[in-house]
Amino acid sequence: MKRVLPIIIVILLIIGVGGGVVWSILASRYKPTEEVMDYAAEMGLSENEYAITLNQEVLKEDRAVAIDGRVYLSMALVTETINSRFYWDDNEKLLLFTTPTEVMMITPDQQGYTVKTWNGSSDADEGYMIVRTYNDSYYVAADYVKAHTQMDYAEYTEPNRVVMATKWAEQQIVTLKKDTAVRYKGGVKSEVLRQATKGEKMVLLEAYDDWSNVATEDGYVGWVSNKTLYDAETETPEAPAFDEPEYTSIHKDYKINMGWHQVMSAAANSNLSSVLTSAPGINTLAPTWFSFSDTNGGVTSIATQDYVDTCHANNIEVWALFSNEFPGDDGTIYFDSSKTDEVLGYTSKREQVIRNVIGYVNQYGIDGINIDFELISQEGADDYIEFIRELSIACRANNIILSIDNYVPEYTYYYNRREQGIVADYVVIMGYDETLPSSETPGPVASLNFVRKGITDTLNVVDKSKVINGIPFYSRVWCTTPDGTVSAFACGMSEALGYLTAHGVTPQFLEDIGLNYGSYTSDKDGNFYEIWLQDATAVEEEMKLIREFDLAGVAEWKIGFESGTDIWNTISSYLQ
């Protein structure tokens, strides 16, 4: 026994030492770290820069800066994320902010700025420089942005942070049961952002089994242990007081029945009398009168006083169409995306265009402007909507109706229809060209599902009281050669049906697309021809949709392609 005892003691000592080592290792592994993160270094902040948290998201690629004791936000953050009504003209180095009646024009690094209305301009001064240059980039004073935006922002130091909110949707809020650390990542070994105290409330971003991702009131987005949290509760933050600008609109107390009247010269206006005779029930005409004469803001007009006077004598309004067509070397005019960008990208050129167009409208007593700018590039979309805003100021001041044509949202998703629906009087859907002539697969101009989708997509962002749906009076005749080559040309209703009739074809109604269809093979060349007819049946189906959605009216492209007065009678019957 005496020999065994020392051995037992040694074994116990070994076990004790080993257990202590194991305990030390385990304690080291699971003991929470108290190391505080160098947040400024992590965010890559220089001395006068601020990290930004916007709507509980840390913007790691953006910085605010402090200049002369005032917080400034990057131009891109302001114009692209916070408030798109701030517009930066990079060509003329101007920041613009547009209201229903004014345009504020701000030059970087100058304290005063200009306020322009339709009738003149004045000087203004906020007591500080609104736009500053920093590291060859432009920044906007957060105070000025807040003055024109429903926005909250707060500034924190040590480390430098700016916390902003522009959304006020329902949130999940958690409350701390006890003091705890807010960590950069989930887990006790992650560095500490800061210590939080019992009773503090945080926005719950996402909850996992052991840890939750939260946003603190002072701009940290991190992680806390679920053991320290009470169950989440739903709260809706209170939005700060803000006076939204009031955009007044002209709204007719009747359904619009607008025919696009294509005229290629001033002399062509003389056929108005035949139009009025053949289109009973029409109450608005949009003659194709205005286009660009150059890329400096010049506008060409082929308007005539007789046309306007005759329309007014027949209780028909004139909404003159203004297209982004430019003169070519051969004397014809054509849509040009790059030239449009060249004009709309300059504040001075936009101003010149608007002065020219409004001048013509007032000269002839025209009732409205119908903007038909096509092929707008995605890069030029901000310039385009700024042009619309500025044009709306002039129209509002002169009691001129402003309507804007758009192809269906599926094709032009980057057009800002929401803003169009606010600043303009009417938004027109060009509910056609479902299948373009360049397509390798023949198809209809406007199947019923295509038209319906164009309407519903538009109504997602524009009130129905402002939406007019444009319908086609033309069909495309598709030709597929024996070798598989596909081509197409457009024609009016009577001509399209005539091709089928001449070949003994009776069109069949296709219920799934709401159109009559016919096809034949030519004995002469073996070509296969197909036509999805835009006829009286198609018009009635489209008018049923306009009535179903209680839209503001209908527009037709184009007058002269219809098959007879029966088409107009059908349209009128659905607008009652």
**Does residue 290 form part of some domain?**
yes
Regarding whether 267 and 183 lie in a shared domain, the answer is no
DSSP 3-state of 326: strand
Res. 22 pLDDT band, cuts 50 70 90: very low
In this prediction, residue 12 carries a pLDDT of 55
DSSP 3-state of 436: coil
pLDDT-wise least confident of 26-35, 40-49, 303-312, 334-343: 26-35
Give the pTM.
0.93
Regarding whether 186 and 136 lie in a shared domain, the answer is no
CATH number (domain holding residue 308)? 3.20.20.80
In this prediction, residue 320 carries a pLDDT of 98
Is the per-residue pLDDT at 26 higher than 70?
no
Is the per-residue pLDDT at 2 higher than 60?
no
Last residue of a domain, one of 115, 136, 165: 165
**Does residue 195 form part of some domain?**
yes
Regarding whether 198 and 177 lie in a shared domain, the answer is yes
Is the per-residue pLDDT at 54 higher than 70?
yes
Last residue of a domain, one of 165, 183, 218: 165
Give the structural domain span for 79: 39-165
**Does residue 284 form part of some domain?**
yes
Q: What span, in angstroms and rounded, lies between the C-alpha atoms of 325 and 332? A: 9
Across all residues in the chain, what is the average pLDDT? 95
Regarding whether 260 and 387 lie in a shared domain, the answer is yes
> For residue 429, which of 550, 262, 556, 572 has the smallest C-alpha distance?
556
Is the per-residue pLDDT at 5 higher than 70?
no
**Does residue 361 form part of some domain?**
yes
Read off the pLDDT of each residue in 216-224 and give the average, rounded to a whole number: 97
Regarding whether 280 and 221 lie in a shared domain, the answer is no
User: In this predicted model, what pLDDT tens digit does every residue of 159-172 receive, in sequence order?
Assistant: 999 999 999 999 99
Regarding whether 199 and 138 lie in a shared domain, the answer is no
Regarding whether 393 and 318 lie in a shared domain, the answer is yes
DSSP state string for 205-227: EEE-SSEEEEE-TTS-EEEEEGG
Q: What span, in angstroms and rounded, lies between the C-alpha atoms of 552 and 574? A: 12
Tell me the percentage of the chain whose pLDDT exceeds 70. Answer: 95
Res. 331 pLDDT band, cuts 50 70 90: confident
Res. 349 pLDDT band, cuts 50 70 90: very high
**Does residue 384 form part of some domain?**
yes
In this prediction, residue 19 carries a pLDDT of 53
Regarding whether 66 and 140 lie in a shared domain, the answer is yes
User: CA dist 480 to 252, 266, 407, 442, 528, Å?
Assistant: 46, 39, 27, 8, 5
In this prediction, residue 23 carries a pLDDT of 43
Regarding whether 161 and 53 lie in a shared domain, the answer is yes
Q: What span, in angstroms and rounded, lies between the C-alpha atoms of 409 and 406? A: 8
Regarding whether 46 and 111 lie in a shared domain, the answer is yes
Last residue of a domain, one of 145, 165, 185: 165
Read off the pLDDT of each residue in 257-271 and give the average, rounded to a whole number: 97
